[in-house]
Amino acid sequence: MTRRAALSALAVPVLSRAGLGAVLLALAVLAGVTIGEVALPLGLVGDLLAVKLLGIERALDPIEAGILWSYRLPRTLVAAACGAGLALSGVVLQALVRNALADPYLLGVSAGAGAGAVAVTLLGLGGGAIGLSAGAFGGAASAFLIVALLAKAAGGGPAQLVLAGIAGSQLFNALTSFFIAKSANAEQARGLMFWLLGNLSGVRWPDVSLALPVVGLGFLVCLAHVRPLDAFSFGSGAAASLGIAVRRVQLVLIAAVTLMTATLVSLVGSIGFVGLVIPHAMRFLVGPRHARLIPASALAGAVFLIAADIAARVLIPGQVVPIGVVTALVGAPGFALILIRNRRRS
Amino acid sequence: MRIEARNLGWREIVRGVSVEIRKGETFGLVGPNGSGKSTLLRLLAGLMPRAAGEVWLDGAPLAQLSRRQIAQRLALVEQFADTGEALSVRDAVDLGRTPWLSPLSPFGPEDRQIVDRALAAVGMEGMAARAWATLSGGERQRVHIARALAQEPRVLILDEPTNHLDIHHQLALLGLVAALPVTVVMALHDLNQAMMCDRLGVMSDGRMVACGKPAEVLTPDNLARIFRVRAQPMIDPSDGSTLFRFLPMETST
Ligand SMILES: Nc1ncnc2c1ncn2[C@@H]1O[C@H](COP(=O)(O)OP(=O)(O)OP(=O)(O)O)[C@@H](O)[C@H]1O
Ligand SMILES: [Mg+2]
């Protein structure tokens, strides 16, 4: 078989899997936009798409169409981007630091992003979504740096990394509280606290146009690095002897993770456990090779967070539960399972 | 592939090692624990940060090759390399193809055949689907060797490759390595196995204190001085080869 024939033989299962993934994602989005306090008919979605995308005239209920188009759809798309981005960040961090417990939340990256975003909001350094994201990026990058250096200084073992992550999270959460106590009025404080718990209520179209490109870019960067990520399985020394430019790969991937986490935290607050639990579930389903793990985790993360957002909206009638609370309710037991499984392995 | 090292050093642990290893040669490194064998092997593979000295592969300075170019020429099997990932044996050996793959030439049937041959060369073809975590120490070692073979290197650097192997697999591995048409540099502890190398370098306290044909280097005198053992050379009457019997030194130090 020639290389070309082999390529096309490979392309068929890859394409059919990508197709399956797209269908699953579309179904999840459909559920996300129709289920809620006001259940919307499926037919409305078709009609609305015909009007918005094809320019066909249809008679629509303006209130229902408004809920669907300006509220539910952006919210669901951002939830999908968020779930995919956090799951990807988890996969990449776990591979790079060779630690099953690494994820942006536990390593303090989310806390750093939160502190950065709050600082920008309250201290009035630059404005708008971009300024907020830049602040979050600065916070996330400093948190990662501090945690990584602390873990290294403490001996560099897996337990040290997790402990350094706790220290980092505590430090940056304390900074956040300090900024809020110092500069926010009561109403701002309540809003910020609610946002920090993870909240999609305020999401509108401009947020979509920030979240989707950033997560799309992050996904492509991860996809381009599936082999280097595999090569890290036996450590960075082994990766180097397999021809990986270790420093460059680490830098590019950590930048991608920091950018995704920072952007998502600045939009919807910090949502825990997605980056931890989704990659593990996917390792269990599709195995540890990143060529499958990366797309599977992105898809599962997106679907999971759409589902969590639906749950957040319908769990208590008339009340929206912060989505971070829903992911923690599902994620904490998942985390416990990972701990137990890890102990058995070692 | 010819390897030349000039004045290699790393901190105080390896000092001023110069050596030339010829194309196709099987070069053994021996020396007591902590004498710098593993560090020297990593220096030869270009893996130590802030190293002193220079290495040339077929006249090309290692420092001017990219990691990928080095990995296409040289494979390294380290003393301790483990993973917590639930990789299968085949997954681990597939990694050896990494330096040859790119988005334009993804893993294809030729790569699969190379991996199959590498698995067969170490007798692991029947265990390709086994999970890494379930392998014994010797099986893991053989998978590492297969991974290095799948890299199709022209230089193979092995750190105590016979470690953990049963006697059958030790001999099979040394036979395999000797028959490969590549340059091999390996650290060994068993001095009788070291006798099978074309040449030996003896490390002691970070320096290469002797280098040459095994019989010239492993003299009872050297063995007493460097390894602190009394060595009794014995001749195998069937083929006239030399074996050592080791006894403790008479005077304690
Ligand atoms: N990264 C490091 N930092 C500090 N010291 C090191 C480092 N790596 C190795 N050493 C020390 O350098 C010395 C040589 O180590 P090396 O691993 O090269 O020895 P070796 O000859 O391979 O020993 P063995 O036979 O036990 O494998 C040892 O004393 C070791 O403790
Ligand atoms: Mg050693």
Q: Which residues surround ligand 2, an ion (CB under 5 A)?
A: B 37-38, 79
pLDDT at A11: 65
- Which amino acid is located at A9 in the chain? A
B158 — phi, psi (to 5°)?
-125, 130
Residue B24 CA, ligand 2 centroid: distance in Å: 23
Torsion-angle region of residue A156: left (phi > 0), alpha (psi -120 to 50) or beta?
A: left
Instruction: Answer whether A55's CB lies under 8 Å from A84's CB.
Output: no
The tokens describing A62, both together, are 């303006």
Lowest mean pLDDT among A3-7, A35-39, B238-242: A3-7
pLDDT at A189 over 90: no
Mutate to test the pocket of ligand 1, among B10, B35, B79 (most ligand atoms within 8 A of CB): B35
Residue A238 sits at the chain B interface (C-beta within 8 Å): yes
SS3 B229: strand
pTM for the whole structure? 0.87
Q: How sure is the predictor about A2, in pLDDT bands with cuts at 50, 70 and 90?
A: low
Of B150, B27, B110, B87, the residue nearest A241 (C-alpha): B150
pLDDT at A3: 54
Q: Whose CA is nearest to atom 6 of ligand 1?
A: B13
User: How big is the A-B interface in CB pairs under 8 Å?
Assistant: 82
pLDDT at A42: 82
DSSP classification of residue A155: T
Residue of A nearest to B78 (CA): A238
pLDDT at A345: 53
Number of continuous H segments (helices) and E segments (strands) in chain A: 15, 0
- A101 domain residue, yes or no: yes
- A60 domain residue, yes or no: yes
- A5 domain residue, yes or no: no
Which residue of B67, B78, B84 is in closest CB contact with A243?
B67
Residue of B nearest to A227 (CA): B98
- A6 domain residue, yes or no: no
> DSSP H helical segments within B10-124, as ranges?
37-44, 67-73, 89-94, 109-121
Q: State the best of B85, B100, B140, B155 to mutate against chain A, taking most chain A CBs within 10 Å.
A: B85
pLDDT at A282 over 80: yes
The tokens describing B87, both together, are 């990789």
Instruction: Tell me what the pLDDT averaged over chain A comes to.
Output: 86
pLDDT at A4 over 70: no
Instruction: Answer whether B166's CB lies under 8 Å from B86's CB.
Output: no
Residue A242 sits at the chain B interface (C-beta within 8 Å): yes
Domain ranges of chain B: 1-67+154-168+177-253, 83-152
ipTM of the prediction: 0.86
Distance CA B203, CA B44 (A): 14
Residues A213-255 have pLDDT tens digits of 999 999 999 999 999 999 999 988 899 999 999 989 999 999 9
- What is the rounded average pLDDT of the residues A147-154? 89
Long-range contact list for B243-248, CB < 8 A, 24+ apart? B243/B192, B243/B195, B244/B191, B244/B192, B244/B195, B244/B218, B246/B191
- A102 domain residue, yes or no: yes
Instruction: Answer whether A161's CB lies under 8 Å from A97's CB.
Output: yes
Chain B residues whose CB is inside 8 A of the A13 CB are none
Low-confidence ranges of chain B (pLDDT < 70): 251-253
Residue B33 CA, ligand 2 centroid: distance in Å: 7
Question: What CATH number is given to the structural domain containing A79?
Answer: 1.10.3470.10
Of A29, A135, A24, A134, the residue nearest A79 (C-alpha): A29
Tell me which CATH homologous superfamily contains domain B1-67+154-168+177-253: P-loop containing nucleotide triphosphate hydrolases (3.40.50.300)
Sheet order of strands, B26-30 included: B74-77, B155-159, B183-187, B26-30, B199-204, B207-212
SS3 B210: strand
Roughly what angle, to the nearest 10 degrees, separates helices A3-34 and A73-97? 130
Counted domains in chain A: 1
Chain A residues whose CB is inside 8 A of the B67 CB are 240, 243-246
Q: Which carries the bigger pLDDT value, residue A148 or residue B242?
A: A148
Q: How far is A233 from chain B (nearest CA, A)?
A: 6
Residues B219-230 have pLDDT tens digits of 888 888 888 888
pLDDT at A128 over 70: no
Of A284, A243, A261, the residue nearest A83 (C-alpha): A261
Residues of B with CB under 8 A from a CB of A: 42, 45, 47, 66-72, 74-76, 78, 81-87, 91-92, 95-96, 98-99, 101, 103, 105-106, 108-110, 133, 151
Domain span including residue A304: 24-345
Q: How sure is the predictor about A1, in pLDDT bands with cuts at 50, 70 and 90?
A: very low
Distance CA B98, CA B71 (A): 9
Which residue of B85, B92, B99 is in closest CB contact with A243?
B99
Lowest mean pLDDT among A80-89, A122-131, B199-208: A122-131
The separation between CA A46 and the C-alpha centre of its own chain, rounded to angstroms, equals 29
SS3 B16: strand
Of B212, B218, B201, B210, the residue nearest B44 (C-alpha): B201
